[in-house]
Amino acid sequence: MFRNRSMAIMVGITNYKFEITNSLDKLRAILRRDLLTAIRHRSGFVVTMVGVFTELAAFYFLSRAIGPGFRPGGIEYFPFLLVGTGVYTFFVMSTQAFLGAVQEAQQTGTLEVLMTTSTAPAELVILSSISAFAGNLVNLLVYLFAGVAVFRAAIHANVFSCLAVLFFSLAIALALGIAAATLQVAFQKGSALVWLLGSGLWFLSGTMFPIQSLPRPLEFLARALPLTYAIDGMRRALLEGQSITEMAATLAVLAGFGIILLPLALAALSLSLRRARQDGKLSFY
Partner 1 sequence: MDRIVFESVRKIFRHRPALFNWLGRERGGETIALKDLSFSAQLGEISVLLGPNGSGKTTALKLLSTMLLPDAGSVRVNGFDTRRDASSVRRQVGIAVAAERSFFPRLSARENLDFFAALDEVPRPERAQRIKEVLRDTGLEEQADTLVMKFSSGMYQQLGIARALVKRPNVLLLDEPTRSLDAAAAAHFWSTIRALARQQSTVLLATHNFAEAAAVADRLLLLHRGELLADRSVGDGESAVALRSFYFRMTGEEEFVIGNL
Out of 13, 58, 113, 154, the only residue in the binding site for partner 1 (CB under 8 A) is 113
**Binding mask of the shown chain, residues 36 to 65, with x at each position contacting partner 1 by CB under 8 A:** xx--xx------------------------
User: For the range 118-124, what are the long-range contacts, defined as Cβ-Cβ under 8 Å and sequence gap of 24 or more?
Assistant: 119/26, 121/269, 121/270, 121/273, 122/266, 122/269, 122/270, 123/23, 123/26, 124/26
189 belongs to the binding site for partner 1 (CB under 8 A) = no
- CB-wise, 17 or 279, nearer to partner 1? 279
Q: CB count, 10 Å around CB of 236?
A: 22
CB of 113 to partner 1, least distance (A): 5
Distance of CA 51 to the CA centre of its chain: 19
CB of 126 to partner 1, least distance (A): 13
Residue count (the chain): 285
71 belongs to the binding site for partner 1 (CB under 8 A) = no
Total interface residues for partner 1 by CB under 8 A: 31
Out of 114, 137, 155, 244, the only residue in the binding site for partner 1 (CB under 8 A) is 114
Q: CB count, 10 Å around CB of 48?
A: 17
Q: Residue 172 is which amino acid?
A: I
> What's the CA gap between 90 and 133, in Å, rounded?
8
108 belongs to the binding site for partner 1 (CB under 8 A) = yes
> What's the CA gap between 129 and 59, in Å, rounded?
30
**Binding mask of the shown chain, residues 10 to 29, with x at each position contacting partner 1 by CB under 8 A:** ------------x--xx-xx
Interacting residues with partner 1 (CB under 8 A): 22, 25-26, 28-30, 32-33, 36-37, 40-41, 108-110, 112-120, 124, 274, 277-280, 282
